[in-house]
């Protein structure tokens, strides 16, 4: 559990420092424009590009994860993400090397996207498949707190750096979070290389049920589940990334709220998610998992109409209450998601199916949501269209989830803690 969570926290930390830097500074440093909104749009486009690369990573990592096991691929994903992140921190800006700067930045961002495309599903499966079926909701949800822990670390680092003078932040301050990831990588790698392979994968391998081409099997035989899983994720992705990425530029440029205040709000609500996600994961082991997931989608589809007016008050306490209200249903869905999504596919093609479906959902639900929200704000000048698109995503996710079918745990799986099957001695 610790090995999976540690690596996931680091991967998400590195992913989010890019998103935060995109909203705060990358538009100015790498995509200069006379119009600050255009620069922000270009920076957020580079943020979204990694999500376009995630299905590629999901296909590659999912295929080999189902062929050779989960562990080796998780070590590779952490190495790729770490190298790309440190190099971003060393990259000269547009004013130093011209157009080559954004080109290299985009290339490194693609490497991050490919890495994360394989990381998330592999980490979830290592946790879920090591756990008894009756506790998979809770332990799977702990992996999903990795996103919140990563965001919390990223927000805290940028919050501290936001108190630097603007000149210092622009020249070297923004690089510190990228350099600091090297320390985290060393810690995460030392933990991750010690983990054992998933028992459920070992059971599949021991019974010679590993498909020769798992990705092809997923595409041909399970394409409907892949599409439904991707659509099911849209609402959670849009809610999280509009709240944690788009809100940074929205607060500074539209509401007149200073950068540090918005970062403080995002940091605070991330703590709420760290508690709420495993709470709903625990509840999903005791109640119908699908109903908990659906209830969260209903909340995420309706509460943006309350969240935006609360942000508009520019009162930090009211704004924080709005963030908390929005994140409660998000926690219900995101805490239930790992065990729910893992059981959409049988164990022999589970890595490929879950990774591809989830990554396709993140392309639009996560990667494009800040860009869509920023574009709608630029066209309409207000928040109503943004709330409408979040509601639309909620409706699509709700209908897709209704059509998803959850499979039982693989019958060949027995946890080490479970008693051995009883045997009846032969008659003399």
CATH of the domain at 88: 1.20.1250.20
User: Distance (Å, rounded) from C-alpha 13 to C-alpha 258?
Assistant: 23
Residue 137, CA distances (Å) to 79, 133, 134, 142, 332 in order: 28, 8, 8, 9, 11
Residue 48: the pLDDT is: 65
Would residue 288 count as lying in a domain?
A: yes
Would residue 425 count as lying in a domain?
A: no
User: Distance (Å, rounded) from C-alpha 370 to C-alpha 18?
Assistant: 13
Would residue 421 count as lying in a domain?
A: no
User: Distance (Å, rounded) from C-alpha 103 to C-alpha 112?
Assistant: 14
Is residue 208 very low, low, confident or very high in pLDDT (cuts 50, 70, 90)?
confident
Would residue 428 count as lying in a domain?
A: no
**Domain of 278?**
2-193+214-403
Residue 192: the pLDDT is: 74
| Contact present, 232 and 131 (Cβ < 8 Å) | no
**Which whole number is the average pLDDT over 232-258?**
86
Question: Which residue, 261, 336, 368, is CA-closest to 24?
Answer: 261
Would residue 281 count as lying in a domain?
A: yes
| Contact present, 387 and 305 (Cβ < 8 Å) | yes
Is residue 306 very low, low, confident or very high in pLDDT (cuts 50, 70, 90)?
very high
**Which whole number is the average pLDDT over 356-373?**
86
At residue 342, does pLDDT exceed 50?
yes
Most confident option among 7-21, 64-78, 219-233 = 219-233
Question: Which residue, 229, 224, 399, 227, is CA-closest to 297?
Answer: 399
Which residues have C-beta within 8 Å of that of residue 48, sequence separation ≥ 6? 367, 368, 370, 371
Would residue 198 count as lying in a domain?
A: no
Residue 106: the pLDDT is: 83
Please give the residue that has the higher pLDDT: either 45 or 220. 220
At residue 428, does pLDDT exceed 60?
no
Would residue 423 count as lying in a domain?
A: no
Residue 303: the pLDDT is: 96
At residue 131, does pLDDT exceed 70?
yes
Residue 348, CA distances (Å) to 33, 311, 408 in order: 50, 46, 13
What are the structure tokens assigned to 337, written together?
């998601």
Would residue 129 count as lying in a domain?
A: yes
Residue 37, CA distances (Å) to 139, 374, 413 in order: 41, 8, 53
Of the listed ranges 22-26, 72-76, 130-134, 308-312, the least confidently predicted one is 22-26
Question: Which residue, 295, 287, 288, 246, is CA-closest to 397?
Answer: 295
Residue 41: the pLDDT is: 61
How many structural domains comprise the chain?
Answer: 1
Is residue 78 very low, low, confident or very high in pLDDT (cuts 50, 70, 90)?
confident
What are the structure tokens assigned to 292, written together?
């908990």
pLDDT tens figures, 34-74? 456 656 666 666 666 777 788 888 888 888 888 877 777 88
Residue 414: the pLDDT is: 44
Counting residues of the chain whose pLDDT is more than 90, the rounded percentage is: 23
User: Distance (Å, rounded) from C-alpha 243 to C-alpha 13?
Assistant: 17
Please give the residue that has the higher pLDDT: either 411 or 22. 22
Residue 93: the pLDDT is: 84
Residue 419: the pLDDT is: 38
Of the listed ranges 116-120, 138-142, 281-285, the least confidently predicted one is 116-120
């Amino acid at each position: 559990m610790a090995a999976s969570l540690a690596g996931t926290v680091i991967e998400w930390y590195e992913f989010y420092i890019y998103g935060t830097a995109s909203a705060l500074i990358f538009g100015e440093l790498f995509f200069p424009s006379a119009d600050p909104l255009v620069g922000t749009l270009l920076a957020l486009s580079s943020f979204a590009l990694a999500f376009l690369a995630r299905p590629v990573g999901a296909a590659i990592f999912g295929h080999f994860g189902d062929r050779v096991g989960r562990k080796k691929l998780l070590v590779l994903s952490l190495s790729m993400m770490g190298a790309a992140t440190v190099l971003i921190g060393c990259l000269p800006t547009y004013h130093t090397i011209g157009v080559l700067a954004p080109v290299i930045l985009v290339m490194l961002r693609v490497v991050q996207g490919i890495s994360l495309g394989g990381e998330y599903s592999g980490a979830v499966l290592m946790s879920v498949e090591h756990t008894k079926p009756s506790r998979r909701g809770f332990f799977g949800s702990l992996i999903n707190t990795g996103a919140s822990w990563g965001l919390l670390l990223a927000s805290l680092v940028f919050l501290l750096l936001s108190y630097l003078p603007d000149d210092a932040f622009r020249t070297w301050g923004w690089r510190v979070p990228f350099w600091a990831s090297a320390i985290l990588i060393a810690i995460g790698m030392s933990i991750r290389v010690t983990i054992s392979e998933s028992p459920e994968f070992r059971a599949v391998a021991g019974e010679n049920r590993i498909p020769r081409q798992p990705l092809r099997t997923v595409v041909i035989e399970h394409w409907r589940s892949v599409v439904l899983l991707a659509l099911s994720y849209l609402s959670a992705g849009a809610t999280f990334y509009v709240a944690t990425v788009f809100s940074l530029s929205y607060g500074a440029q539209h509401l007149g709220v200073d950068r540090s205040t918005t970062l403080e709000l995002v940091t605070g609500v991330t703590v709420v998610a760290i508690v709420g996600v495993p709470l709903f994961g625990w509840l999903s082991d005791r109640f119908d998992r699908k109903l908990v997931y659906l209830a969260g989608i209903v909340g995420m589809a309706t509460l943006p109409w309350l969240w935006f007016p609360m942000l508009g008050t520019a009162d930090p306490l009211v704004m924080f209450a709005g963030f908390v209200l929005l994140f409660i249903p998000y926690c219900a869905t995101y805490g239930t998601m790992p065990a729910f999504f893992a059981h959409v596919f049988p164990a022999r093609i589970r890595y490929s199916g879950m990774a591809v479906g989830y990554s396709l959902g993140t392309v639009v639900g996560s990667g494009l949501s800040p860009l869509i929200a920023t574009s709608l704000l630029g066209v309409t000048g207000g928040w109503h269209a943004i709330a409408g698109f979040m509601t639309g995503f909620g409706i699509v996710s709700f209908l897709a989830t209704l059509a998803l079918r959850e499979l039982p745990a693989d019958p060949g799986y027995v946890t080490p803690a479970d008693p051995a099957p009883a045997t009846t001695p032969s008659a003399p």
